[in-house]
């Protein structure tokens, strides 16, 4: 709790002390009573502010609503904060002054102004946010301030607790070629569809599966929801590999490009897995084990984008290469028909060999990150691109200041 006198409170307290001092000097009892009355009034106001504060804050509940629940960089969102008395309690909400704290990353450095709506048993704060950076950023707690009836003191205290708003990276709409990412002209003509070994099989339901594919008879028999895999028509699964740099320059660009590619492939009907390197928090979402399945609904999109929220570049280049080698090892165990789309930086000969060996010819696509200002980095990027080309990959070069859509178009145009 924070008890503070207002300007009026300071003025009365000083006036009371001065009047008492003058009364002592002059020996005036009436003047001494007036000074004492001012001091007592200040003390009573402090006690009243404390009592009002305890009565109001002890019985208040805070409920916060964020729309949408997860924000995206550059996209607007709205926060609603509802303050209500606890059930069975009565509290005068009209005298409360409320203020919400929010991270600067949620306002791009601009001040946030909230509108306040007051009802007999509820006060609502509403304000707009627009995230400038990917990550998790705190909002709250609410600071509530109440004063005494004379306006001499105010007391402030926090209500509720801070919560983190998750922010997805900036993504753009990318167009997948009509024939898909396939090096086989025949399969390209069929939309990159291949017969599936499990065409007539059943598998467990995954979030994002179309409910029309549920095989209700088998589900009832086995006591778990099963879906038919035949309606997938053998659409090739896709893994989007993201190799983050050790420096911050290309981190956000690389994440945005990889996320945009993943969503584009999902929209084209492919099961998609996101395989990132980099540093993530212990509670970060892991998306390396399963594929998000079409249709492109909210659950499938969230499965992919949640894996990007806590990502950060590795601490050193050595750690970056170790993580890339781990990712190549994961790819080596994937379905041989799976398509891999990679966003990578300049690689060492060992990393190039491992990645080339992990993906069969014609199944790999890579955007190799480079730097126009660093001749050595550009040479290494060219060497990496050449090595992947020789291994049967389709590749292109791009720098972190390149437009995302243009970068993708340059990659898919490498296909004859």
Q: What is the pLDDT of residues 319-334, one digit of tens each?
A: 888 889 998 888 887 7
Q: Cα–Cα distance between 226 and 218 in angstroms, integer?
A: 7
Please provide the distance, in angstroms rounded to a whole number, between the alpha carbons at the two ends of the chain: 70
Confidence (pLDDT) at 35: 79
Residue 198 confidence (pLDDT): 40
Structure tokens at 364: 């790999």
Domains of the chain: 1-168 (2.60.40.10), 185-194+234-412 (3.40.50), 200-233 (no CATH)
Pairing of strands 153-159, 135-147: antiparallel
Q: What is the Cα–Cα distance from 300 to 206, expressed in whole angstroms?
A: 10
d(Cα 286, Cα 273) in Å, to the nearest integer? Answer: 10
3-state class (DSSP) for residue 133: coil
What is the per-residue pLDDT for 7? 77
User: 3-state SS string over 302-371?
Assistant: HHHHHHHCCCECCCCHHHHHHHHHHHHHHHCCCCCCCEEEEEECCCCHHHHHHHHHHCCCCCEEEEEECC
Residue 1: predicted pLDDT: 52
Q: What is the pLDDT of residue 388?
A: 92
Question: What's the confidence (pLDDT) of residue 58?
Answer: 63
User: Is the full-model pTM beyond 0.85?
Assistant: no
pLDDT for position 42: 79
pLDDT tens sequence for the chain (416 residues): 566 777 777 887 788 888 888 878 888 888 888 878 887 887 877 777 677 666 655 678 889 999 998 999 989 999 999 988 877 666 666 667 788 889 999 987 788 888 988 888 888 999 999 999 999 999 988 888 776 666 777 777 788 889 999 999 999 999 988 666 754 433 333 333 444 434 345 667 766 566 767 878 888 878 888 876 544 445 788 999 999 987 776 899 999 999 999 999 998 888 899 999 876 544 444 444 567 777 666 788 888 899 899 998 887 888 888 889 998 888 887 777 789 999 999 999 999 999 988 888 888 999 999 987 788 888 999 999 999 999 999 999 999 999 999 999 999 887 65
């Amino acid at each position: 709790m924070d008890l503070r006198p207002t300007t009026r409170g300071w003025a009365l307290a000083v006036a009371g002390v001065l009047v008492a001092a003058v009364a002592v000097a002059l020996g005036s009892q009436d003047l001494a009573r007036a000074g004492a009355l001012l001091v007592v009034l200040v003390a009573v106001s402090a006690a009243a502010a404390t009592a009002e504060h305890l009565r109001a804050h002890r019985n208040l509940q805070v409920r916060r609503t964020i729309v949408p629940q997860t924000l995206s960089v550059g996209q607007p969102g709205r926060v609603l904060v509802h303050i209500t008395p606890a059930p069975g309690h009565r509290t005068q909400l009209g005298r409360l002054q409320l203020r919400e704290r929010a991270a600067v990353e949620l306002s791009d450095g601009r001040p946030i102004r909230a509108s306040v709506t007051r009802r007999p048993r509820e006060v609502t704060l509403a304000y707009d946010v627009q995230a400038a950076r990917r990550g998790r950023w705190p909002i709250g707690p609410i600071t509530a301030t109440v004063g005494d009836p004379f306006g001499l003191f105010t007391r402030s205290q926090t209500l509720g607790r801070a919560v983190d708003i998750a922010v997805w990276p900036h993504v753009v709409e990318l167009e997948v070629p009509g024939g898909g990412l396939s090096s086989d002209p025949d399969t390209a003509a069929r939309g990159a569809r291949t017969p599936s070994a499990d065409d007539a099989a059943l598998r467990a339901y995954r979030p994002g599966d179309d409910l029309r594919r549920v095989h209700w008879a088998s589900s009832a028999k086995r006591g778990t929801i099963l879906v038919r895999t035949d309606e997938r028509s053998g659409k090739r699964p896709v893994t989007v590999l993201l190799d983050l740099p050790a420096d911050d320059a290309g981190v956000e660009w690389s994440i945005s490009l990889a996320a945009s590619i993943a969503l584009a492939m999902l929209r084209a009907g492919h099961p998609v897995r996101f395989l990132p390197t980099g540093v993530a928090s212990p509670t970060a979402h892991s998306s390396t084990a399963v594929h998000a399945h079409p249709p492109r609904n909210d659950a499938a999109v969230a499965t992919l984008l949640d894996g990007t929220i806590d990502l950060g570049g590795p601490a050193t280049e050595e750690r970056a290469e170790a993580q890339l080698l781990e990712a190549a090892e994961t790819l080596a165990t994937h379905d041989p028909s799976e398509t891999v789309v990679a966003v990578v930086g300049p690689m060492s000969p060992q990393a190039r060999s491992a990645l080339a060996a992990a993906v069969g010819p014609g199944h790999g696509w890579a955007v190799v990150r480079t730097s126009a200002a660093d001749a050595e980095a550009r040479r290494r990027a060219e060497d990496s691109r050449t090595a992947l080309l020789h291994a049967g990959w389709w590749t292109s070069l791009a720098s972190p200041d390149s437009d995302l859509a243009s970068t993708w178009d340059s990659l898919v145009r490498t296909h004859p």
